[in-house]
Amino acid sequence: MNFIIYILKKLTYLTTVLIGIIILMFIIVQSIPGDPARAAAGPAASKERLIEIRKDLGLDLPVYIQVYRYFGRVINLDLGKSIRTKKDVWDELVLYLPASIELVVSAMFINIFVGVLIGIYSAVKPRKIIDKLSNLITILGMGLPIFWVGIISQLLFYNILDIFPYGGRLPAGVNPPQHQTGSYIIDSLLMWDLGLLSISLHHLILPAFIMSLPELAVTARIMRNSILNVLNKDYIITAKAKGLNQSRILFVHALKNAMMVPISLFGMQTGWILGGTLLVESVFSWGGLGSLAYNAIYKRDFPIIMGVTLVISLCFVLTNFSVEIIHKYIDKRLT
């Protein structure tokens, strides 16, 4: 029963957060200078046409009425139409989201897998080469702007070493797999097309790695500190005194407790990585939500900006919600 109350409490909190985000975004987006009607009408539209478009889009109404109407539409899963392309925002999001999810999930996979491994190794062998390297990665990963790292990585891995493509999800001349999920990795696996799978993976590795880099650095450091902390606990000292071997102590007794802190972090990291798609997708011409948002911001396409923000916020909120549920499941004492 407590568990259900806990979930309901969290859901209420998350819904409030989402409503707050929508209101805030609506106000911010409306206050950006620029006339969306002009963007929609094109450079040579007549005055009458501009007035007509403003009316169609409801831009002639006060902001609070526009927010109210927007909520009404969101509840019915109607996010409106793109001002520029006149396509349904919902359709646009469905088209672009799989590419971003593919990238974010891959980046998170690299973040968790590599970050945790580096963290464990650094904790077990402190001040050794891996620990020092991990320190360096942390400083670089957190200190350097991600778009700059992206461009430099293209220069190194594409232009000089020639081991990764410049970007894009597939090279020119190669057709994507038949659309089933929108993820080229999953769709080529479903078609059992290993050639296409390898090409898709080849295109995915570099942007996913670059995207994971700042978070990977954090994961590694937090994992290291968390393990070092656990290794100093009484029960671990007792286990050592009992003569249990090092790997059993580490992987069976220490790791479960040491993972509590990084797990809380993963929820936040998913959101941060999703937010970072705008820059990484632009550098690597990825064609996901980030690219959609980039164009929408440039063209003042407010419904698209709102739609993308809503999706990213929703992903952020849901991931954190899932992480908190997992946490509660592992540690029943949490309130």
Partner 1 sequence: MKNLKIKLGAFIISMALTLTASANSNTIKIAHSEYAFSYDPVFCNWSDIGRICAVAYDALLKFEPTNKVLVPHLAKSYKKLDGGSKYRFILNKNVTFHDGNKLKAQDVKYSFERIMAIKDGVANLIQDVRSINVIDDHTFDILLKRPTAAFLYSLPQIMIINSKTAKKYEVDGDWAKKYLDDHDLGSGPYKLSLHLAEQRAEFKKYDNYWKGWRTDNINGVTFLWIKDSATQRLMLEKGDLDIMMEPVLSELKDLKKNSNLQIHSTSSAVVFTIDFRVIRKPLDNINVRKALAHAIDYEYHLNVALEGFGKRAKGPLSSQLMFFNDNLPLVDFDMKKAKQYLKEAGYPNGGFTLKVAYESGQAEKQRALEMIQQNWGLLGIKVEPVGTDWMGQDEMQKNKDSDIDVYLGYIWPAAAETDIALRTFYHSDYKGVFGDNAPFWSSDKVDQLFDSGIVEQNINKRSEIYKNLQHEIVKGFSSAFVSETPFVIVTNKRVVGYEYNPAHHQAIDVYNMTLSN
Which backbone phi and psi does 51 adopt, to 5 degrees? -65, -45
User: Is 72:155 a contact under the CB 8 Å cutoff?
Assistant: no
Least separation in angstroms between CB 87 and partner 1? 7
Alpha-carbon Rg for the chain, nearest whole angstrom, is 24
Residue choice 255, 272, 282, 328 for contact with partner 1 (CB under 8 A): 282
CA distances from 277 to 186, 237, 249 (A): 20, 44, 39
Residue with Cβ nearer partner 1 (87 or 256): 87
Residue count of the chain: 335
Contacting range for partner 1; rule: CB under 8 A; set: 61-69, 120-128, 150-158, 221-229: 150-158
Stretch 71-100 residues interacting with partner 1 (CB under 8 A):
84-87, 95-96
Contacting range for partner 1; rule: CB under 8 A; set: 21-29, 165-173, 236-244, 313-321: 165-173
Residue 33, number of CB atoms within 10 A of its CB: 5
Binding of partner 1 at residue 275 (CB under 8 A)?
Answer: no
Minimal CA–CA distance to 169: which of 276, 286, 282?
286
x/- letters, 104..143, toward partner 1 (CB under 8 A):
----------------------------------------
Q: Which helix (H) or strand (E) holds 208?
A: helix 194-231
Residue choice 39, 213, 218, 265 for contact with partner 1 (CB under 8 A): 39
Which amino acid makes up residue 3? F
Tell me how far apart the alpha carbons of residues 240 and 231 are, in angstroms, rounded to a whole number: 10
Residue with Cβ nearer partner 1 (116 or 296): 296
Binding of partner 1 at residue 145 (CB under 8 A)?
Answer: no
Tell me how far apart the alpha carbons of residues 71 and 57 are, in angstroms, rounded to a whole number: 15
Interface residues with partner 1 (CB under 8 A) are: 32-35, 38-39, 41-47, 49-50, 84-87, 95-96, 151, 154-155, 158-159, 162-163, 166-173, 175-176, 194-195, 197-199, 201-202, 282-288, 291-292, 294-295, 298-300
